[in-house]
Amino acid sequence: MTATLRPPASACPACAAAPAAEALAAQAAPTEAHIVLSLPTIHCAACMSSVERALNAFPGIRSARVNLTLKRVSIEAAPDLTAADVIPVVEGAGYEAHELDNSALSATATDKAGRDLLMRLAVAGFASMNVMLLSVAVWSGAEGPTRDLFHWISAAIVLPTVAFSGMPFFRNAWTALSARRLNMDVPISLAILLAVGTSLWETSLSGEHAYFDAAITLTFFLLTGRYLDHRTRSVARSAAEELAALEVPRAWRVTDDGEEQVSVSALAVGDLIRVRPGGRMPVDGEITQGTSELDRSLLTGETLPVFAEPGRTVSAGEVNLTGPLVVRASAVGRDSSLHRMADLVAVAESGRSRYTSLADRAAKLYAPGVHILSALAFLGWLAFTGDLRVALNIAAAVLIITCPCALGLAVPAVTTAASGRLFKRGLLIKDSTALERLAQVDTVVFDKTGTLTAGTPELTNLGDFSRRDLEIALALAEGSSHPLSQSLTAAARDAGIKPAAITNVMEIPGHGTQGTWHGEDVRLGRAAWVGAGPGIQTAAWLRVGDGPAQGFLFTDRLREGADTAVSALQAAGLKVILISGDTPLAVEALAGRLGITQWMAEALPQDKSARIEKLTQSGAHVLMVGDGLNDTAALTAAHASISPASALDAARVASDIVLLGGTLAPIPDAISTARKATRRIRENFTIATWYNVIAVPLAVAGLCSPLIAALAMSASSITVSLNALRLR
């Protein structure tokens, strides 16, 4: 929880708007607490309503707003409320909740770049419409002082507009030139500046033609391409930041004088920490007291809990489910497993950022050629005519007509069209180069639990039990929060079973539930505790009195479309691999069920990432499909990645594409669409190249004024956009 400072309302609107007044108001005492919780299990509007309704009804909470996209809730509450007070409210509504540290998410606030581009685009569009009206009057026959007046009015509109709207191009061009290199923005900036400079010169000499309309139209079209490119991106947050944000901000340290709540940053190796049921492990360590069950899905991705007892090692991020535990810290802070996972992700992110898009590769060849050609045209015409004015006009026309507007639109126009098509099929493209990388994929790696399977156990042998035993089992299962008990409860209720009248029902942390039925002891839980001998992982055992133990068997059901997606990918010639943190028997069974010949079991996050890197080094282009925090490093290390919308925040952030629905069936279509999109991009480059082959000689020969060059440039941009729309 972090407190936010709320300024008091001001009676003066001007004062309220002034930064100085805000700074003074910010020094006031805090009047509200701002709490942000992660809600990994919400998935629809009904979930949002349930959480908001539960929180808004809690005393002390002033407002609660759920963001379904980010799977978070922002709570404005009384200053004495903490996350520990409100998390049980969310859990009582039936949803998992974890506190997020706002300081770690400061870089993920509002994305201002998109709004900034849109504002510059709107200003350029408004100015270009007005300048075009003035240009129509000039080209319709206005002469003398009237023509000069229209030119000066155009200059008054264009100069501040270009200075404001063209700033992204000028800034990037200056950065490139400062580093002694060229990029696409260098010829763009030169073309705009040369068109404006030539127009000012022509206007000052009372010339017939000025090209302010060309300069502002060029700026507008280029900003359109830049904004379309931005729309395809969702890079406001880093997966490494999301992992760090899941670190527990506070912990209960056990001392000789009792317990004290301290910041996790104050913990040291050797400290004893008490972790209550429902709490997340703040450090790596070893259990010294207590028995419970642990949710290790952070590290393994498997949702079935594991037994926890003294001597067992635990890792930061694991969730204590049933009983209180005391843990002796062995690694804290940046040495913990959660931070090591974040470091893996950060390394993988930096590697992916080195991927060069087709547009950038084209720019490396294009930019030097444009400058050389324009300079040669200027020098040639200056030497031939001796007229600086003519030479500048032709140089400007060459720069404008060869300006990479078509190239600038070639990629974003296609990616926007492809993204729209895939969005209709339930896929959200997040990264600007995702389609290009997805088109190169030849190997697909799937996670198991939560990706190929639904991640929830499903009872398979309900019919093997008598009604009496089912009634007893239901009564015991309803007294436990264990996933197997919850699954058994749902299956029995669906079958019309009513719970038996059992007394003294008690859950034994880490073992199961027991009670008394007609004077006999009854137990439901682990095999060894019930007395069934060695058991298998996905089973809950029932024992009534001295009778034999009977096992309720569970399996993880396939996610919708999993078999269809795997078979379609294999039919398309792609290699499919299954990597999971589950046991070898479970992974082998699922692989055989789906026809996957290559699989890997008991894989930790570093194992998955290492496997991806090994495949990459062997020349494969890997698509990783996963949903858990344990998949985050692998998702980021892969050539391209996909995660379901039900995945945790960090996994969705690390992936390039998010599956909005519950089915995996669209994945083969995504690869097919990506390959078509790449072909369209190459076609657009071909269109732009042929356009230059035809138009550039005309400009060099002096047959195109800068205005005609701008119109030709616009025509090429429209052609590129229409070709991109064929993807829809």
Among all residues, which ones are annotated catalytic?
447
In angstroms, the CA 367 to CA 377 distance is 16
Q: Which residues pair with 428 in a beta bridge?
A: 658
Half-sphere exposure of 249 (CA within 13 A, CB side): 17
Question: For residues 263 and 101, is the Cβ–Cβ distance under 8 A?
Answer: no
Alpha helices (runs of H) in 9-111, residue ranges in sequence order: 13-17, 19-25, 45-56, 83-92
Q: Which residues pair with 293 in a beta bridge?
A: 307
In angstroms, the CA 305 to CA 526 distance is 11
Q: Read out DSSP for 616-655?
A: HHTT--EEEE--SGGGHHHHHHSSEEEEETTS-HHHHHH-
Q: Which residues pair with 508 in a beta bridge?
A: 512
Find the radius of gyration of the CA atoms of the chain. 32
Strands 319-320 and 72-77: unpaired
Q: Read out DSSP for 464-522?
A: GS-HHHHHHHHHHHTT---HHHHHHHHHHHHTT------EEEEEETTTEEEEEETTEEE
In angstroms, the CA 36 to CA 649 distance is 13
| Residue of 263, 289, 264 whose CA lies nearest to 274 | 289
The 10 Å CB-count burial string (b at 16+, else e) for 667-676 is bbbbbebbbb
| Residue of 454, 452, 348 whose CA lies nearest to 667 | 452
In angstroms, the CA 63 to CA 80 distance is 15
Q: Find the angle CA(555)-CA(559)-CA(563) to the nearest 5 degrees.
A: 100
| Residue of 412, 439, 434, 422 whose CA lies nearest to 724 | 412
Q: Which two tokens stand for residue 528?
A: 């060894």
In angstroms, the CA 429 to CA 416 distance is 9
Question: For residues 327 and 269, is the Cβ–Cβ distance under 8 A?
Answer: no
**75 φ, ψ (degrees, to nearest 5):** -120, 125
Q: Which two tokens stand for residue 247?
A: 């670190």
Question: For residues 377 and 699, is the Cβ–Cβ distance under 8 A?
Answer: yes
Question: For residues 76 and 34, is the Cβ–Cβ distance under 8 A?
Answer: yes
Question: For residues 437 and 621, is the Cβ–Cβ distance under 8 A?
Answer: yes
In angstroms, the CA 70 to CA 4 distance is 21
Q: Which residues pair with 553 in a beta bridge?
A: 539
In angstroms, the CA 553 to CA 559 distance is 19
In angstroms, the CA 308 to CA 397 distance is 75
User: Which residues are CB-neighbours of 532 under 8 A, at least 6 positions away?
Assistant: 541, 543, 549, 551
Sign of CA dihedral 274, 277, 283, 286: positive
What SS3 state is found at 323? coil
H-helix or E-strand containing 231?
helix 212-231
Residue whose structure tokens are 């045209």: 377
Give the distance, in angstroms, between the CA of residue 317 and the centroid of all CA atoms in the same chain: 20
Residue whose structure tokens are 């998992």: 96
